[in-house]
Amino acid sequence: MLRKALHIDGDAQIDILLRRVLTSQSWNIQQAQSNASALRLAKEQSYDLIVTSEKTSGQEDIELLREIRRVRSDTRLIILTNKSTTTNVIAAMREHAFSYFSRPFSVDALQGMIRVATEGCCWDDGIEIISATEQGIRLRMRCDFETADRLLQFLQEIEELPDPERKQLATASRELLYNAIEHGGKLDPTNYVEIDHVRSRDMVMCRITDHGPGFTFDKIPHAAISNPADDPTYHVRLRQEQGMRPGGYGIEVARKLVDEVIYGRDGNEVQFVKYLSPAKSLSA
């Protein structure tokens, strides 16, 4: 049976992207002219995926999501909007939006998120907000890479930074979060990591805590940071022998992209800081 997607009053580029990712053999892609018409359709039939219009605000799309959740708890909705605010991003997370993109965004990133949204077997958010303000958010996240990618997209929207700082933070966050869920959480979806993300006038700070056994730097031979001085690719061979995914550069990469990377005594908590220049910090 064909799965169904709904695209709301979107532009041709996004429509082409949807039809490229969602093949006609498996998907029926329908159009709605407005959020109101999308809500009427969602009440009449179930959609696996809904992608909103960039012409509506984040707040309008969140209201649509709230209404849809009353009748369709398992629909995955991706919000597209021209302008983002921290308040709207947090509200979208609380209402269990699947993802959130504001212009300018990477079409490749959106395409990847659509794939994540449509390849999962069932809807289970995996992200729980513990507390949130304009300056910071604390949450728990299930230990799997797909949920991590969703969370990282939300955090990019919250940061509201220009390139290249935004990309630097996104890459450092991804590397350290992946380490926590893979090595600390063992990629077990019943395990969770905790994230504290804070934005001030002068810096962005993030703390990631897993509940694994931790580590010490002299006992992680699968990471590039522990390579012998005379054998800079030792960890690559070791990861291959142990059947681990390619990588092992996460800590080194993060240290090059942010200003401070600090591990707790037991190794299962890492905090990193990116300092902002005055021209790029929040206005008073």
Per-block average pLDDT, block size 10, for the chain (284 residues)? 91 90 91 96 96 94 96 94 91 96 91 90 83 95 95 91 86 94 92 96 94 72 68 68 68 92 92 81 43
- The side-by-side arrangement of strands in the sheet containing 260-263 is 127-132, 136-142, 192-199, 203-209, 269-275, 260-263
Cα 51 vs. chain centroid, distance in angstroms? 17
Give me 7's structure tokens. 């695209």
CA 24/CA 115 separation, integer angstroms: 15
Residue 282: predicted pLDDT: 45
CATH 3.40.50.2300 intervals, the chain: 1-124
Residue 175: predicted pLDDT: 93
Cα 109 vs. chain centroid, distance in angstroms? 10
As assigned by CATH, the class of the 126-284 domain is: alpha beta
Place of tokens 């993802």: 99
Residue 255: predicted pLDDT: 92
CATH 3.30.565.10 intervals, the chain: 126-284
Upper half-sphere CA count for residue 214 (Cβ side, 13 Å): 10
> Do residues 196 and 206 make contact, with C-beta atoms less than 8 angstroms apart?
yes
1-124 architecture in CATH? 3-Layer(aba) Sandwich (3.40)
Residue 76: predicted pLDDT: 95
Residue 283: predicted pLDDT: 43
